[in-house]
Structure 1
Amino acid sequence: AYVERYNRTVRHEWLNLYIFETIEEVQQIATEWLWTYNNERPNMGIGGVTPAMKLKMAA
């Protein structure tokens, strides 16, 4: 279920928003989006914190 939710989020938040010209462009946008997803975007499923913050708290 988590993978399906993540795939839907990827598709709706950036994959459907762009027309890509090259694989390198896709990789660059994916890298930027993934960093934002893990470091800036709070996730309500893990208590309203970012995944990076949750990882720090677990360590």
Structure 2
Amino acid sequence: GTSRAMFEWSERTGVRLRFIEPGKPVQNAFVESLNGKLRDECLNLHWFRSLRHAREEIERWRRHYNTERPQSALGYRTPMEVLTTHAAAALEPLAGSTLPLIAQLNPGGSSSARP
């Protein structure tokens, strides 16, 4: 079943599975909220004609959710705006701090890189 497939996948990939206690959705509030939005804003609005149609509509909703839909928890910004801001801030200290690598030919004929 599904649980066996998840277990086997986690073993293959080295991902540690963690489960919430039964009947305790507040332990996973972010995912519960996302699932509710997906259901209310996408799944309940469509009568899917095929698996392909379902995938297309869900992908359309996902792109909208991540790139166009402002979210109050993110200061009325989109997830993409937040990601872009955090990525730029995280990379800023690294700009200019990397030393150029100079490839040198060793006397033995092999190449090496040094700062």
Which category of TM-score, normalised to the shorter sequence, fits these structures?
A: over 0.9
Q: Would you say 1:52 and 2:80 are equivalent positions?
A: yes
When the two chains are superposed, the root-mean-square deviation of aligned CA atoms in Å is 0.5
Q: TM-score, normalised by structure 2?
A: 0.50
| Structure 2: stretches of 5+ with no match in the other structure | 1-28, 88-115
Structure of greater relative contact order (alpha carbons < 8 Å, 6+ residues apart): 1
Structure of greater Rg: 2
CA distance in 2, matches of 1:17, 1:41: 17
Q: Would you say 1:10 and 2:35 are equivalent positions?
A: no
Q: TM-score, normalised by structure 1?
A: 0.96
Match of 1:43 in 2: 71
Instruction: Tell me which amino acid in the other structure corresponds to 1:23.
Output: L
Q: Percent identity at matched positions?
A: 36
Deviation readout 1:1-56 (Å, 9 max, x if unpaired): 00000000000001001111100000000111100000000011011100000000
Instruction: Tell me which amino acid in the other structure corresponds to 1:41.
Output: R
Structure with a larger share of its residues in helix: 1
Structure with a larger share of its residues in strand: 2
Report the count of equivalent residues. Answer: 59
Given candidates 26, 37, 40, the residue that maps to 2:54 is 26
